[in-house]
Amino acid sequence: TIYLDHQATTPMDPAVAEAMTFAATHCYANPSSPHAAGIRAFREVERARGAVARFIGAGRSEICFTSGATEGNNLAIKGVVRPGAARHVVTTAVEHKSVLDTCRSLREAGHEVTVLPVDEEGRVDPGQVAAALRPDTALVSVMLANNEVATVQPVAEIGALTRAAGVPLHCDATQGVGSLPVDVAALGVDLLTFSGHKIYGPKGVGVLYVANRLSDRAPLVPLLHGGGQERGLRAGTLNTAAVIGLGAAVGVLATGREAEAVRLAGLRARFLSELADLVPYVLNSGTGPGFLPHAVNLSFPGVDAQQLLLEVADLAVSTGSACNSSAQEPSHVLRAIGLAPERIRGSVRISFGRFTTEADAATAARALAAVAAREPARSA
Ligand code: PLP
């Protein structure tokens, strides 16, 4: 199989697997235990915490390990917008469901939510964010990059204005953290989430960054109560091996990210030009600087993408977002950028990764084109 679905998840880097094998073998003790074995596990966990903190320009005390971005997004949003007096939240129409559905649950609990529209590239206008702020706004949540159309949001610009207004800013950085530089101070965020498995780390582990300036003022309300781990923010014995694997994953990422982004953009260009020679398609995402370098979303006119993928054996790509692919409804992101139902039906999401070769990109283009070229005739 040629795996071109790195926005859904990534294969584990061998260095991560090695670190996790070490952890599973040698760091099995509970990192909260005061005996020598516990202290050894604790030290490795703290080393990983340090690596994650450095990776995003945070302090170690600002890193909370979670089970992934879904939990991180829930914790960030429900943790800040506490029960009680109704408050207001601002977000965008193209967020992941773990943000949008969390906001919906707040709405059901009596809070107000403003969901801002995006332009045809999937980008939110910082001016609209500013205009949406109210005296009772408790939080703004804007993703770093989109998981379907790869749009990079103007988070730093939004951060400057939320900071000036004294409103906390949360950023779901799950899709950007692997290929864009992420520095919490430069972005101006108070909360930031990501998952291990999108950056060649393990599944079931993630990070919520909570700025000390925010938690000092008003500690987040935890979702999980219990043993007081993670400074009381997230109870439960840490998944030591996964945390250590995540530490290794950010260690690998921290070296050579820029060169890798250039290589990935090159693979995408190769794939698209190869494809263009063989079959007509339209791009649903951009390939310039305002988009992730490794991903593209396109539609084959007249083709049903679900059917197409069934017929392209040995190629792993996706239609819309695999994160909620059980839902058969058309992608909320593709609708938000204004695509017609027909174009959504034909849309395919392709994302290249660390182990993708030039040959993979070319072979994938030919395989997709071969099926796409005969599909319209069949459905006509
Ligand atoms: N946010 C974004 C932008 C994503 O792409 C995903 C993954 O699918 C998530 C959140 C959820 O991540 P996880 O499934 O690891 O909790």
Residue 67: band (very low, low, confident or very high) from pLDDT cuts 50, 70, 90: very high
Q: What is the CATH number of domain 14-253?
A: 3.40.640.10
Sheet strand arrangement including 112-116? 63-66, 206-210, 191-195, 169-172, 137-141, 88-92, 112-116
The DSSP secondary-structure symbol of 83 reads: S
Token pair 């960030």: residue: 76
Please provide residue 67's backbone torsions phi and psi, each rounded to the nearest 5 degrees: -90, 0
Residue 322: band (very low, low, confident or very high) from pLDDT cuts 50, 70, 90: very low
Q: What is the residue extent of each domain of the chain?
A: 2-9+256-379, 14-253
Q: What is the CB-side half-sphere exposure of residue 235 using CA atoms within 13 A?
A: 9
Token pair 């649950």: residue: 105
Do 2-9+256-379 and 14-253 share a fold? no
What is the number of the ligand 1 atom nearest to the C-alpha of 69? Answer: 16
Distance (Å, whole) CA 236 – CA 328: 35
Q: What is the pLDDT of residue 376?
A: 64
**CA 73 to ligand 1 centroid distance, Å:** 9
DSSP secondary structure string for all residues of 140-163: EE--SB-TTT-BBP-HHHHHHHHH
pLDDT tens digits along 97-150: 999 999 999 999 999 999 999 999 999 999 999 999 999 999 999 999 999 999
| Residues recognised as catalytic | 323
Short-list 336, 344, 182, CA closest to 250: 182
In three-state secondary structure terms, 10 is coil
Cβ within 8 Å of residue 320, ≥6 positions away: 148, 330, 331, 333, 334, 344, 347, 349
Q: What is the ipTM of this complex?
A: 0.99
Question: Which residue among 92, 155, 195 is best mutated to probe the pocket of ligand 1, counting the most ligand atoms within 8 A of its Cβ?
Answer: 195
**CA 336 to ligand 1 centroid distance, Å:** 19
Contact in structure between 69 and 177 (CB atoms under 8 Å): no
Question: Which residue among 323, 331, 351 is best mutated to probe the pocket of ligand 1, counting the most ligand atoms within 8 A of its Cβ?
Answer: 323
**CA 371 to ligand 1 centroid distance, Å:** 30
Q: Whose CA is nearest to atom 9 of ligand 1?
A: 69
Angle at 298 between CA 294 and CA 300, to 5 degrees: 145
What is the number of the ligand 1 atom nearest to the C-alpha of 322? Answer: 8
What is the number of the ligand 1 atom nearest to the C-alpha of 70? Answer: 16
Residue 377: band (very low, low, confident or very high) from pLDDT cuts 50, 70, 90: low
Q: With respect to CATH, is domain 2-9+256-379 assigned 3.90.1150.10?
A: yes
The DSSP secondary-structure symbol of 124 reads: P
Angle at 187 between CA 181 and CA 192, to 5 degrees: 85
What is the number of the ligand 1 atom nearest to the C-alpha of 98? Answer: 10
Question: Which residue among 98, 223, 239 is best mutated to probe the pocket of ligand 1, counting the most ligand atoms within 8 A of its Cβ?
Answer: 98
pTM of the complete model: 0.96
Identify which has the larger pLDDT, 328 or 135: 135
Residue 323: band (very low, low, confident or very high) from pLDDT cuts 50, 70, 90: very low
Cβ within 8 Å of residue 74, ≥6 positions away: 98, 102, 223
Around ligand 1, the residues with Cβ closer than 6 Å are: 68-70, 96, 98, 143, 147, 172, 174-175, 195, 197, 323
